[in-house]
Amino acid sequence: MREVTEHSIAVLGGGQLGRMLALAGIPLGVSFRFLDPSPDATARALGPLSVAPFTDDDAVTKFATDATVVTYEWEGVPAATARCAARVAPVLPGDRALETSQDRLVEKETLRSFGVATAPFAPVDDRAGLERALATLGLPAVLKTRTGGYDGKGQALLRSEADVDTAWATLGGVPLILEAFVPFIRELSVLGVRTKAGEFV
* CATH number of the domain bearing residue 70: 3.40.50.20
CA separation (Å) from 5 to 30, 33, 41, 54, 60? 8, 11, 23, 24, 19
List pLDDT tens digits, range 85-104: 999 999 999 999 999 999 99
**pLDDT value for 2:** 47
Asked, for residue 198, whether it belongs to a domain, the answer is no
List pLDDT tens digits, range 124-158: 999 999 999 999 999 999 999 999 887 778 999 99
Asked, for residue 48, whether it belongs to a domain, the answer is yes
Residues 95 and 18 placed together within one structural domain of the fold:
yes
**pLDDT value for 109:** 98
Q: How far apart are CA 127 and CA 86, in angstroms?
A: 40
The residue among 81, 101, 121 that closes a domain is 101
CATH number at residue 165: 3.30.1490.20
Range of the domain at 112: 104-180
Which pTM value belongs to this model? 0.85
Asked, for residue 159, whether it belongs to a domain, the answer is yes
Asked, for residue 191, whether it belongs to a domain, the answer is no
Residues 127 and 86 placed together within one structural domain of the fold:
no
Sign of CA dihedral 50, 4, 82, 47: negative
Instruction: List all residues 6 or more positions away from 191 whose beta carbon is below 8 Å from its beta carbon.
Output: none
Relative to beta strand 69-72, strand 8-12 is parallel
The residue among 69, 101, 133 that closes a domain is 101
**Backbone φ/ψ region at 158: left (φ over 0), alpha (ψ -120 to 50), beta:** beta
**Domain count for the chain:** 2
Q: 80-100: b or e for each residue (b if 16 or more CB lie within 10 Å)?
A: ebbbbbeebbebeeebebbbb
**pLDDT value for 151:** 76
Asked, for residue 137, whether it belongs to a domain, the answer is yes
Q: What residues are paired with 35 via a beta bridge?
A: 12, 50
Residues 155 and 109 placed together within one structural domain of the fold:
yes
Q: CA nearest 150: which of 65, 76, 43, 44? A: 76
User: What letter does residue 132 receive in the DSSP assignment?
Assistant: H
Asked, for residue 192, whether it belongs to a domain, the answer is no
Which residues of the chain register pLDDT less than 50?
1-5
Asked, for residue 200, whether it belongs to a domain, the answer is no
